[in-house]
Amino acid sequence: MTDTDTGTFDRDTRYISDRITTDVPPGSAPVGAKVGEMTWPVEAGRYHLAGARACPWAHRAIIARALMGLDDVISLGLAGPTHDEHSWTFDLDPGGKDPVLGIERLQEAYFNRVPDYPLGITVPAMVDIPTVAVVTNDFDQLSIDLATQWGAFANEDAPELYADAQRDEIEAINARVYPDLNNGVYQAGFATSQSAYDDAYQRVFATLAWLEEHLANRRYLVGDSITLADIRLYATLVRFDPVYHGHFKCNRQTISSMPVLSAYLRDLYQTPGFGDTTDIDQIKEHYYVVHTNVNPTQIVPHGPELSWLMAPHGREDLP
């Protein structure tokens, strides 16, 4: 929603904030009496991750699931790239129904948990398969819990996405990247005043400049392997040139024109779990068709040319 006085886009961050953790024995009912404050058991085959390749917030959870090797433990449902004011729909599936949940609209799973759910029907959403009810749609905590609570089912070579020793540094980076870049591009794109746009635009490119410097002599944002910090950043960077540069008016420069960030993005894109979960066509269709307040014609551009994402990145020897 946009503040009518300042023209600034303010994201609604109210979610169903239940968690899935190892604190509850497998096969148990959730512990707690209040929706949003309950704890559910880690249990293979019980949950269905409802996402969409178009959405950056859902993309984070999809990548975390892939890197952890949880494909056979948590099933994945993918909504189509466009939706109406009511809900994401499973129009990519035969018959327009999610084959695991048997529903046409994600809204149904929200209503099964909270009748007449009054907030946004968002992805990602972790759904309890037996009850076809949403457990949580808190995108940030959901990814953290995928990284920290499902280790018993993870691949032996799965990266430590949120290691204890790195959490403070990961969250310190997030404290800048989330408001000024991940959400900053939206504040630029949805601004309804020049001053709100100017502020968001400046913060976006100041953050990109800082990242260009931060990553100049290190391969990843934190430590010597991929963490949640990289996943969070990737979902924005890979959408920047095809969407945010033009659609959201963040057009000072492209990621492809930034030597360090373009190489960093290529490195991640070519890593299993990243590029193979990215669908640029769905990304463009979502933004340019759904955001009629920004693009009333709903025309989806053919460009830009993105073959550079598969070019050599040369970052293998960085510390």
Q: Tell me the catalytic residues.
A: 55, 186
- Cβ–Cβ under 8 Å, residues 19 and 144: no
Backbone angles phi, psi at 134, to 5 degrees: -65, 130
Task: Identify the helix (H) or strand (E) that includes residue 19.
Answer: strand 19-21
Sign (positive or negative) of CA dihedral 111, 116, 121, 123: negative
Backbone angles phi, psi at 136, to 5 degrees: -155, 145
Question: Is 40 annotated as ligand-binding?
Answer: no
Tokens 């024995």 sit at which residue?
25
- Cβ–Cβ under 8 Å, residues 137 and 122: yes
CA dist 78 → 74, 125, 171, 194, 304 (Å): 13, 11, 28, 36, 25
Annotated binding site for glutathione: 88
Annotated binding site: 88
